[in-house]
Structure 1
């Protein structure tokens, strides 16, 4: 790497550090309303940290401790730039992780910073191999890494929601049949839900257990179950909640409805499996058509081509 490139990189790093120091120094840093009111309302001592749950500090918590104000401003900028808080809130609720939109925006900023760092490393490596640095290409690569990180976190959230809903759909037939068995044995729908959530595991059992916990805390059970259905886009779960709600409110038979719903979900799973098999079969034709077939034709025509070339000479 040439001395000019090293000087450019060092000067860029020094200027970024100087901007950060001047921007977030106490004289120029804005005082939040929470910080202004904290001395007047924080009259109780902080609880002991020994009473809390010991958790390993993750990437998000470590980044917030080191670059708290910068991450907060970056999260606000990303939120203004991308928007869609309602869609993000809905996907976070469907994921059931308890993460707020602000935390998700901070994670996007962290991912974008990692992408920017990766783009800078790629630029430095390419500059070291070629012996020169094209400034426009370096800027484009860094911006591409930044955008890839920010949008990649959003894509990964969508993938997590899809995987969780697939797990909910896969667990639904078993949970529905267990509930039908408990109701047939003479238990009420609420007691059957409590038994199934206590004896089984998985995402659906945790969702139903959370609904029962909110019901014990004072929320009506019908409302708690409806919240579970509203957080996901699984139609089978919505129909299941409707059946349970009708059974609780009107006392209608529930066992046959649950068995029918479980059978419908299993049939839908079989249809999805057949569709997936058909798609995989089409994908398997790609290497056959573009790899195996050209090699076969080449082996078939190569001897004749060699003979023609030999006779021509």
Structure 2
């Protein structure tokens, strides 16, 4: 066999091998049918199962996850109040389960424990002492981290509810204008939701989604009134439900509720200003007034001291 023929055969074999490798790589890069369909059928997957072709958890996550779940169960049994936590998660607009929140509490506690333990190790290394206070401090840091996550959730709830109250008059007026223009409640709600970007708009978007899948309008608003923690929104939802059921003028109800909320906000602002006015007296009485008195009497005191025999 000549060298040219041998070289041609080797080149052909190499090209065939590269084609096979390229075809296999292309087939591996394309996700299978199960991986493309099952993400849209997540309710059919058992809890904790991973869709075929989807990236699974890492080895470290697989090793740590059972420990975190056990610690989260222990925290849940110790603290209790799962119903309260679930309600606050719903009011905060977080898509978390109670168990996920308990896991986050454990993680926050471990972060506090690790930070305190590291500081204690450095301090003990520089100056050896009794380790019992350090151990107690680390335990207190873990408990503080757990409670801090709970307080953070309550703060998120309060901030979101303040945002909803601030947005309510505008949203109610827009809804009243749409209804007064001749649109039905659902069409007016759709128009307002498409133009709203706040927390109340998201809540009304959930109500609109329920209505579109076949829920009655009154029942959807009743459900909104039951799950919200804002009395203003609860009255608004009840008013809309009653207006839809009994055929009362919805625009008048919305205008009246928006006016009530604005009046309540005005009263709250006046009360807050009065409290701030009292708080502003503290620096005046304890800082500015003593300095003024000192500037007024200090020259005379110095003059008396210089002229005294």
Match of 2:92 in 1: 95
For the residues of structure 1 that align with 2:293 and 2:115, how far apart are their CA atoms? 43
Superposition map of 1:176-195 within 5 A: 176-195=172-191
For the residues of structure 1 that align with 2:96 and 2:279, how far apart are their CA atoms? 37
Deviation at 1:220, TM superposition (A): 2.8
Between 285-294 and 183-192, report the one with greater CA deviation.
Answer: 285-294
Pairing partner for 2:152 from 147, 153, 156: 156
Between 115-124 and 207-216, report the one with greater CA deviation.
Answer: 115-124
Pairing partner for 1:121 from 105, 118, 122: 118
Superposition map of 1:129-168 within 5 A: 131-168=127-164
Cα deviation per residue 1:263-307 (whole Å; 9 max; x = unaligned)?
A: 110111111111222222222222223333333344444445556
Superposition map of 1:147-296 within 5 A: 147-296=143-292
For the residues of structure 1 that align with 2:304 and 2:82, how far apart are their CA atoms? 69
Aligned-residue Cα RMSD (Å) equals 2.8
For the residues of structure 1 that align with 2:275 and 2:207, how far apart are their CA atoms? 38
Match of 2:51, SS?
A: coil
Do the aligned residues in 2 keep the contact of 1:164 with 1:203 (CA within 8 Å)?
A: yes
Pairing partner for 1:70 from 51, 64, 67: 67
Deviation at 1:253, TM superposition (A): 0.7
Deviation at 1:66, TM superposition (A): 5.4
Cα deviation per residue 1:175-209 (whole Å; 9 max; x = unaligned)?
A: 11111111111111111111111222211111111
Larger radius of gyration: 2
For the residues of structure 1 that align with 2:53 and 2:179, how far apart are their CA atoms? 46
Cα separation, partners in 2 of 1:64 and 1:168, compared to 1, 3 Å: farther
Match of 1:292, SS?
A: helix
Match of 1:233, SS?
A: coil
Q: Does residue 104 of structure 1 match 2:101?
A: yes
Match of 1:67, SS?
A: helix
For the residues of structure 2 that align with 1:152 and 1:290, how far apart are their CA atoms? 34
TM-score (norm 1): 0.75
Cα separation, partners in 2 of 1:241 and 1:123, compared to 1, 3 Å: same
Cα deviation per residue 1:47-66 (whole Å; 9 max; x = unaligned)?
A: 4449xxxxxx9xxx999555
Cα separation, partners in 2 of 1:120 and 1:311, compared to 1, 3 Å: farther
Cα deviation per residue 1:155-189 (whole Å; 9 max; x = unaligned)?
A: 01001001111111111111111111111111111
User: What 5-or-longer segments of structure 2 have no aligned partner?
Assistant: 1-45
Q: Does residue 80 of structure 1 match 2:77?
A: yes
Report how many aligned residue pairs link the two structures: 262
For the residues of structure 2 that align with 1:119 and 1:312, how far apart are their CA atoms? 60
For the residues of structure 2 that align with 1:62 and 1:189, how far apart are their CA atoms? 52
Cα separation, partners in 2 of 1:262 and 1:138, compared to 1, 3 Å: same
For the residues of structure 2 that align with 1:141 and 1:211, how far apart are their CA atoms? 48
TM-score (norm 2): 0.76
Do the aligned residues in 2 keep the contact of 1:175 with 1:196 (CA within 8 Å)?
A: yes
Deviation at 1:127, TM superposition (A): 3.7
Cα separation, partners in 2 of 1:230 and 1:239, compared to 1, 3 Å: same
